[in-house]
């Protein structure tokens, strides 16, 4: 649940082009997913561990893309904020 909320908020920040805030949320998401993956690595639930690793990989890739956008210095889209 918390993972989806953070991911959605990051997506909304991406839409309005606030890439710095989106990157912060995605860093938080990657951190939480890493902790979850470490916890599931000790358990015998192979399918849920695989799903967690897949989510982690996708989140890291998305974080990289958002950080690249943040470097470009694109201004906020104030029309979408309203």
| 19 and 13 Cβ atoms separated by less than 8 Å | yes
What pLDDT is stored for residue 79 in this prediction?
86
pLDDT at 49 over 90: no
| Domain extent for 12 | 2-81
- pTM of the entire predicted model: 0.86
pLDDT at 47 over 90: no
- Kindly report the number of other CB atoms within 10 A of residue 27's CB atom: 17
Q: Strand locations in 1-82, DSSP E? A: none
Please compute the mean of the pLDDT values over residues 54-81 and round it to a whole number.
Answer: 92
The count of domains in the chain is 1
> Of the candidates 48, 60, 59, which has an alpha carbon nearest to the alpha carbon of residue 7?
59
Condensed to tens digits (0 to 9), the pLDDT of residues 18-46 reads: 999 999 999 999 999 999 888 877 665 56
Residue matched to tokens 């990289």: 64
Compute, in degrees rounded to 10, the torsion defined by CA atoms 33, 4, 27, 75: 160
């Amino acid at each position: 649940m918390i993972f989806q909320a953070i991911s959605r908020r990051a997506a909304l920040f991406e839409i309005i082009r606030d890439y710095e805030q989106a990157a912060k949320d995605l860093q938080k998401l990657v951190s939480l997913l890493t902790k979850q993956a470490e916890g599931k690595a000790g358990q015998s639930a192979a399918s849920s561990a695989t799903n967690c690793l897949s989510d982690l990989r996708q989140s890291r890739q998305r974080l990289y893309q958002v950080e690249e956008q943040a470097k470009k210095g694109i201004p906020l889209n104030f029309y979408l904020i309203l």
